[in-house]
Amino acid sequence: MRYDDRRAAGQLLAEALEEWRGQDVVVLGLPRGGMPVAAEVARHLGAPLDVLVVRKLGVPQQPEWGFGAIGEHGVRVLNQDVISEAGLDLAEQNAVERAERAELERRVSQYRQGRAALPVAGRVAVVVDDGLATGATAEAACRVVRGQGAARVVLAVPVGPTRSVARLRRVADEVVCPQPLRALGSVGAWYRNFTQTSDAEVAYLLAEAARAMPRSPAGQSPEGEPSSRSNREVLIPAAGARLGAHLVVPDEAPAAVAFAHGSGSGRHSPRNRYVASALNRAGLATLLLDLLSDDEAHDRHNVFDIFLLARRLHAASLWLRSETGLPVAYFGASTGAAAALEAAALSGSGIRSVVSRGGRPDLATPAALTRLRAPTLLIVGSRDTQVLSLNRLAADRMHCEHRIAVVPGATHLFEEHGTLTTVAELARDWFTAHLDRPTAGTSPRRSR
């Protein structure tokens, strides 16, 4: 049986782990592909979710030959047989570990965004990946978790070769694999959709799981996330359609940000979810919505129908204002940025501010750009030269307060390390600095 995607695999895997519901369990996903699977397992079990970052210690000149592995909190497991066979001295071992620990700490910081690791000692640790190949990474993960003091280690994977499953039962207390196969081929062959999981999606899944944890008496989640009065999926009537959306409203939120996705993307966009999570941590409400249905998104004409997208975004913002009682701002990406500018320029829209990420503001009409009054931030990667030129042309038509922020080293999708974090910080600062509407009649400021 092939799984539709990692989420579907996680849902089926969770059923095989039902016995652990209500127990003192922590679910640990292996990045990156294991995290969407682990998120579904954690949700089903009602258990906390964390990421398990493990780095293999490879023999110099033969890095695929591992002599050990490291995890957080200084945990290290070594294979003395490999060390002896490879003739590694202590200095060589330490040099490899220093390099790998620096990379481990970088990834942990990127994924957790300042949240502390969940305690594992004395608990049942359910280690989850999207599948086994050789099982080397899963073995290292189980050994690291054991070194962190887990009372019981359960390895859970949707699919894997029978030989690896049998071998890992000597490392973990229990191995759960609904599909043990004699001939695996590749893990991806057992998924209809096996697209790569991004670092941004890992960070988003962790932030979402932290928000879903029970609140403390002080009104904070155990991981320091702001508590929310709303965190739910909704359907919004808009311009002849019902738009699927995800609404998060932190307690005491001063404003709400509606996301306008572009180029066929929607509310599950990992990049926009990453930005939304950062805005939620800053106390802002967010609405991630699909401006097109699945059928509509398959027609490229709809993707570039800026007026249709703008009408639906405007309708969604009216719903959002009515539902939350909060002023609304827009965050647009790609063609969604043009739709956000068109919608914000509508008479009486009341939109507080607009942020564009890698957007196409040039696709908005010149009249809308001239009429726009909401303070607007255009974020573009320095290596996205064509789009940067188009943003500058659009900015020349604007009479509102506006700025172009160029992110060094970033390409169109902001996939380079740290660039999406910069986008989130710029957006957060712009939105929080423009919570109040500009006073009518004042001269707009212009900065570049």
Token digits of residue 240: 């002849």
Q: Which of 74-88, 335-349, 356-370, 376-390 has the lowest mean pLDDT?
A: 74-88
Using the predicted structure, report yes or no on whether residue 17 has a pLDDT greater than 90: yes
CA distances from 418 to 111, 200, 296, 409, 415 (A): 11, 10, 33, 10, 8
Using the predicted structure, report yes or no on whether residue 21 has a pLDDT greater than 50: yes
Domain boundaries, the chain: 6-190, 228-433
Give me the chain's average pLDDT, please.
Answer: 86
Using the predicted structure, report yes or no on whether residue 375 has a pLDDT greater than 60: yes
- HSE-CB at 354 with a 13 A cutoff on CA atoms is 35
Out of 118-122, 368-372, 411-415, the most confident range is 368-372
Using the predicted structure, report yes or no on whether residue 447 has a pLDDT greater than 60: no
CATH topology for 228-433 is Rossmann fold (3.40.50)
Establish whether domains 6-190 and 228-433 are of one fold.
yes
229 contact partners, CB below 8 Å, separation of at least 6 = 249, 250, 251
Q: What is the pLDDT of residue 378?
A: 98
Distance CA 224, CA 334 (A): 33
Give the model confidence (pLDDT) of 280-333 as tens digits: 989 999 999 888 876 676 677 777 889 999 999 999 999 999 999 999 999 999
Task: Print burial letters for 15-25: b (CB count within 10 Å at least 16), e (below 16).
Answer: eebeebeeeeb
Would the pTM count as exceeding 0.75? Answer: no
pLDDT band, residue 226 (cuts 50/70/90): low
The amino acid that residue 40 corresponds to is E
Closest CA to 282 of 355, 339, 338, 333: 355
Give the model confidence (pLDDT) of 422-446 as tens digits: 999 999 999 999 987 543 333 344 4
Which overall architecture, per CATH, does domain 6-190 show? 3-Layer(aba) Sandwich (3.40)
Give the model confidence (pLDDT) of 399-409 as tens digits: 999 999 999 99
CA distances from 143 to 54, 62, 159, 173, 295 (A): 10, 22, 20, 11, 46
Residues above pLDDT 90, as percent of the chain:
48
Using the predicted structure, report yes or no on whether residue 189 has a pLDDT greater than 50: yes
Distance CA 53, CA 109 (A): 11
Distance CA 174, CA 142 (A): 11
Q: What is the pLDDT of residue 24?
A: 86
Out of 55-69, 139-153, 162-176, 253-267, the most confident range is 162-176
The C-alpha angle with vertex 431 and arms to 430 and 433, in degrees rounded to 5, equals 65
CA distances from 300 to 241, 307, 312, 411 (A): 18, 14, 17, 23
Distance CA 242, CA 245 (A): 9
395 contact partners, CB below 8 Å, separation of at least 6 = 361, 378, 402, 404, 448
Q: Which of 60-64, 103-107, 385-389, 441-445 has the lowest mean pLDDT?
A: 441-445
